[in-house]
Amino acid sequence: MTVSTDSKKPNLFQLVGYYLGKRLPDSMLDWVREDLTGPGATRRVMLRVMVPALLILAPFWLVPTAMWVRASMTIPILIPFIYFSHALNKIWRKHMLRVHHLDPDLIEKLERERNAGKHQSYIERFGPRPD
CB of 47 within 8 A of CB of 11? Answer: no
| Confidence (pTM) | 0.76
Selection from 62, 35, 59, 29 nearest residue 47 by Cα: 35
- Note the pLDDT of residue 98: 95
CA atoms 43, 34, 98, 16: torsion sign: positive
- Note the pLDDT of residue 12: 93
User: What residues in the chain have per-residue pLDDT under 50?
Assistant: 1-5
Residue spans of the domains in the chain: they are 26-126
pLDDT in tens, 29-65: 999 999 999 889 999 999 998 999 999 999 999 999 9
The H-assigned helical ranges of 3-115 are 12-19, 29-37, 41-57, 67-87, 89-99, 106-114
